[in-house]
Structures are given as structure tokens and as C-alpha cells.
Amino acid sequence: MKDLKRLKGRPVLEIGKRNKKIDVRFNEEEFKLIEELEKTLGLTKTEIVRRKALDKSNSIVINAKEAIKALDVIGEELGRSGNNINQLAKYANTLNRQGIYSEVVISRFNVLFENYVETQKSLEVALRKIIRLMGK
């Protein structure tokens, strides 16, 4: 008898049924923004939040604490290296005024300056990675 009964409404979904729920709370400004997007895009609030959350969901999320710690370490190293370079340059200039040429000072300066340049490059690479991740 059931087979003969005419079904009303939407057919039951076998695959792709959404049965998990996440509650989200917004303040007034955020909610108004969602409502404006709803009117502009012609989508429901749920669909807007779902798309925003799941678009590029495979992209990496930046851990701000770790990024700041890494940048702090690199910045401290740059500061120390720069300070050492300045001290050596001042010492080398003092020796130069006295007519003394010191291979040790010059070689140490070169080592410190190479370290400074390498640290600066690593900072540049870290910043580029962060900028790329923020753009995703």
C-alpha cells in the first residue's frame, strides 16, 4: 500500500544531508554586515557564513602568536647584529684615523655583516610568507 501512496514534498536526501550544526554569534555591526550581504548577494545568512568559512578551506590559517614570536626573534637578532656592526665600524674608523690597519677588525666586520644580511633575508622571506597567507 505504501508504494501506491503519493509522496508529498521534497524527496529525502540520502547523500549530502547536512545534519551538523554550529552556532555563531555576531555583534550588531557584524550582523548588519551579514544582512547587507544577504540583500546584495541574494543568499541566505547560512549560505553566506558557510561559503565564507569553507571557501579556500584548505588554505593555511596563520597562527599570529607563532608569527609574532618568529618575527621578534629575527628582529632581536637584526638589532644585535646591527649594534655589533656599528661598534666595529666605529672602532675601524678610530684605527683608520690613527693610521692603523687591522685585518682582524675587517674580517670580523665582514662576518657580522654577512650574518646581518642573511638574517635580513630570512625576515624578508618570513614576511612574504605571511603576506601570501593573508591574501588567501
Q: What pTM did the predictor assign?
A: 0.45
Question: Taken in order 50, 55, 59, 60, is the CA torsion positive or negative?
Answer: negative
Per-residue pLDDT of the chain (136 residues; tens, 9 = 90+): 555 667 678 777 778 788 888 888 999 999 999 999 888 888 899 888 888 888 765 555 566 777 788 888 888 888 888 888 888 888 888 888 898 888 888 888 888 888 888 888 888 888 888 777 766 5
Distance between CA atoms of residues 128 and 135, nearest Å: 11
Determine the 3-state secondary structure of 50 from DSSP: helix
Stretch (H or E) spanning 65: helix 64-97
